[in-house]
Amino acid sequence: MTTTTTTRFVSVVGGAFLGLTALSASAATEMPALPDVTGDKVQADGDFKIKFSIGTTESGAQYRGLQYFEKIVEQRSDGHIQVDLFPGAQLGDDREATSALQAGTLEMTMPSTSPLVNMFPQFAVFDLPFLFPQPEMADAVLDGEIGQQMLEDASSQGLVAIGWGENGYRQLTNSQHPVEKPEDLDGLKIRTMENDLHLDIWRTLGANPTPMSFAELFTALEQGVVDGQENPWITIESSKFNEVQDYATETNHVYTPFITLVSARFWDRLPEDYQALVRDAATKMGDYQREVSRTLNDQIKQDLKDSGMQITELSPEQVKVFQDTLEPVYKDWRDQIGGELIDDIREQVQQAQEQE
């Protein structure tokens, strides 16, 4: 059952903004109120507890999505399913949390696809630079045939994959100097996710990349172990990277999705009606998270500027220099990822661009 993104992507944020301001240092950013829960109550046998772990902090869009998931599941199960949220990598980073699901010691997590390429090589397609010019094109692929097939393929190795979310477009930050062209990266030590394609991207651009878990990143930036990193604006703010990074460049170089995973051991114990409830809640969480992330993106970039961060906005010509410099990455990774998958996605993106 796949529905096209546009029909499902009804605005859930509306105008209601709650004054959630205390969470991040430069926060004028207000999180939208959680939408009301729609759908009937679900009756099934047994009581269940879901521990849901993520790596980003409680002041990000990802956590706001989890709060909506919690609200839906607890209300529609009449409290027979309890959901406990663990942000900030309290229960481990993306790889550790995913292993805990396989071991059955944790019920749910929502990692980025990038750190899991070692388990699911196809996920590397999302690490290709400048693949999605607009987020709606990523939605169309993730919510379409390709994305649904990937969820089925990732429902293996002790895991059940039930939905997508948005980490977002990645932006470069550093503590040394403004970056406007690849040459400015010469000698800069850039932290990347634990992902060989990302290492290739920054090596190809002339930087000195090093892979590291997200959980270790703030300290590594603070202590100067690395000069820079790249993440979406909302993660840069919610993780307070602006407190240890003076410069940013709006590169939008990669769109990273989140994937919602459940422990297969837990899933197999869950009655079918509750499985359907959890899957529906995961879909609604992903849609809402995308909307929060996109609604707040520009506001947060402004907050970071107001907090003193020097943000370089690249001209289309400057972006093209980065794109052209990275084109060889597509050739180098074609066989490993699968030429057909890359072509199918690029064709879908092209069609969407032609319809604009």
Applying CB under 6 A, the span of 7-15, 53-61, 116-124, 152-160 interacting with ligand KDG comes to 53-61
- Residue 174, SS3? strand
Q: Which residue matches tokens 């000069």?
A: 227
Applying CB under 6 A, the span of 21-29, 38-46, 54-62, 313-321 interacting with ligand KDG comes to 54-62
Closer Cβ to ligand KDG, 77 or 239, answer by number: 239
Output the residue with the shortest Cβ distance to ligand KDG: 55
Positive/negative CA dihedral, 173, 175, 180, 185? negative
Q: Which one of residues 231, 249, 263, 289 is an interface residue with ligand KDG (CB under 6 A)?
A: 231
Rounded Cα distance, 329 and 272, in Å: 43
Q: Which two tokens stand for residue 135?
A: 């987020």
Measured in Å, how far apart are the chain's first and last C-alpha atoms?
27
Q: Which one of residues 190, 193, 277, 281 is an interface residue with ligand KDG (CB under 6 A)?
A: 193
Q: Which one of residues 12, 27, 31, 54 is an interface residue with ligand KDG (CB under 6 A)?
A: 54
Residue 42 sits at φ, ψ, to 5 deg, of -115, 125
Residues in the chain, how many? Answer: 356
Site for ligand KDG in 235-294 (CB under 6 A): 235, 256
Applying CB under 6 A, the span of 8-16, 48-56, 153-161, 275-283 interacting with ligand KDG comes to 48-56
Q: Which one of residues 56, 59, 252, 289 is an interface residue with ligand KDG (CB under 6 A)?
A: 56
Closer Cβ to ligand KDG, 191 or 284, answer by number: 191
Closer Cβ to ligand KDG, 231 or 263, answer by number: 231
Rounded Cα distance, 249 and 258, in Å: 23
Rounded Cα distance, 44 and 57, in Å: 33
CB of 336 to ligand KDG, least distance (A): 21
Q: Which one of residues 12, 58, 86, 94 is an interface residue with ligand KDG (CB under 6 A)?
A: 94
Closer Cβ to ligand KDG, 235 or 252, answer by number: 235
Applying CB under 6 A, the span of 31-39, 50-58, 319-327, 343-351 interacting with ligand KDG comes to 50-58
Site for ligand KDG contains 88 (CB under 6 A)? no
Rounded Cα distance, 259 and 151, in Å: 8
Q: Which residues pair with 49 in a beta bridge?
A: 82
Site for ligand KDG contains 172 (CB under 6 A)? no
Q: Which residue matches tokens 């651009």?
A: 205
Closer Cβ to ligand KDG, 77 or 231, answer by number: 231
Site for ligand KDG contains 53 (CB under 6 A)? no
CB of 193 to ligand KDG, least distance (A): 4
Q: Which residues pair with 169 in a beta bridge?
A: 255
Contacts of 158 by beta carbon, 8 Å cutoff, 6+ apart: 101, 102, 103, 104, 263, 264, 265
Judged by CB under 6 A, the number of residues near ligand KDG is 12
Site for ligand KDG in 25-44 (CB under 6 A): none
Applying CB under 6 A, the span of 52-60, 288-296, 320-328, 347-355 interacting with ligand KDG comes to 52-60
Q: Which of 243, 251, 217 is nearest to 308 (CA)?
A: 243
Question: What DSSP string describes 113-158?
Answer: SGGGTTT-GGGGGGGSTT--SSHHHHHHHHSSHHHHHHHHHHS-TT
For ligand KDG, the binding residues (CB under 6 A) are: 54-56, 94, 111-112, 167, 193, 214, 231, 235, 256
